[in-house]
Amino acid sequence: MKNIPVYLDSNVIIDICDGREVGLDELLFGSVKSGDYCYPFSAEQISEITFGNDYERNEQRLAFVERLSNNLYFVHSVYELGFKYESPFKIYETINEVAPIQEEKDLANFITYEQQMEARNVYGIDVNRLNNLNPKEAIEYLNSIFRDFKYPDSTDISQVPRSLDDFIEFNRRNTIEHFSTLWDSMGANHDLMLRDNTIVTLFSLLDMLGFWGDLKKTHKKGSRFGDSSHTFNASHFGGLVSKDKRLIMKSGVVFHSVGIKASTYLTSEFRRHLEEKIR
C-alpha cells in the first residue's frame, strides 16, 4: 500500500470521539489525504471501543473508524492474516454474534501480582533502573540478570534460561510440541501462530519482570493480554500509537527484540509528529 499503515490503540480512537483530543482527527485525515499514512482497523479495536449498551455512542465511534480507515481492515485469525476491505459495522456485528470468551480473564490471575513481585526480588531486578532504559539497554540489562544469576549447585544449568531469547526459545519448543497437532487439524499457519505466541510471551514476560508492568490495582483486569494482541497487530504496521505509556514501552522492547521495524508513539508525540509534517 502507498500510505504507511499506523495502528491506533483503542484509547486513541475513544479519546478523539469523546472530545479529549481536539484537532487530532483533522491531523489524521490530513495525513491520509497527503499520502503519508493510513489507519486500518482491527477486530480488537472494534471490540474495545463498543463496550456497553450505549448504541448511539458506539455508532458514532464506528462511523469515525469507517471514515478514517476507508474500510481497510487488518484481519488476524487462525486462518487469515493481512489487510482486506471490510466495514467496521460488519465486524461489529460479527463480534456480537459470537459468545464472549473468558479465557483472558481466567489467565489474568494465573500468575498473581504477589508472585510477580517475588520473581523480581529473587532475580534482584532493579525496577527503577530497568524502567529508565531504552529498549536495547533493557534487553541487555535483563540478559545480564539471567546470565549472572546464581542457581543452586544441584541445578542443571543447561536447562535454565540465560537470556530473554532462551525464555522465548523454550516457550517456542514447548508450544510446537503441544499445539502442532491441533494447528494442523485447524489448518492454521504455524509461522503465524508462533509469531503471535512469541510476541505475547515476551510482552507478558516483560510485564512480570517489572518493565513498565501493570500496577497492582490493574493486574487483575488482565489488560496486558489485550495489549499484547495490539502489539502483535501493530507488528504488521509501520507504527503504533497509544496514550498508554506502559504499552508503548513494552511494545518498543518487543519490536526491538524480535527485529520488527515499527515506530512507537505516545498520542502526544504522534500529534506533534503530524504537526511537524504540516509545517
Predicted local distance difference test score (pLDDT) of residue 105: 46
Classify the C-alpha dihedral 103-104-107-108 as positive or negative. negative
Buried b (16+ CB within 10 A) or exposed e, 52-84: eeeeebbeebbebbeebbebbbbbbeeeebeee
Q: What is the dihedral of CA 239, 242, 244, 250, to 10 degrees?
A: -10
Phi-psi label, residue 77: left if phi above 0, alpha if psi -120 to 50, beta otherwise: beta
Residues 6+ apart with CB under 8 A from 217: none
Predicted local distance difference test score (pLDDT) of residue 189: 85
* Residue 264 grid cell: 512507537
Q: Are 45 and 8 in contact (CB under 8 A)?
A: yes
Predicted local distance difference test score (pLDDT) of residue 220: 65
Distance of alpha carbon 117 from alpha carbon 11, whole angstroms: 28
Spatial strand order of the sheet with 81-85 comes to 41-42, 72-76, 81-85
pLDDT along the chain (279 residues), means of 10: 91 97 97 97 96 93 98 90 95 73 47 86 94 94 93 82 90 90 89 87 90 77 76 96 96 93 97 93
Predicted local distance difference test score (pLDDT) of residue 260: 92
Predicted local distance difference test score (pLDDT) of residue 109: 53
In the Cβ-directed half-sphere of 196, how many Cα atoms lie within 13 Å? 19
In 10 A of CB 119, how many CB atoms? Answer: 14
pTM for this prediction:
0.89
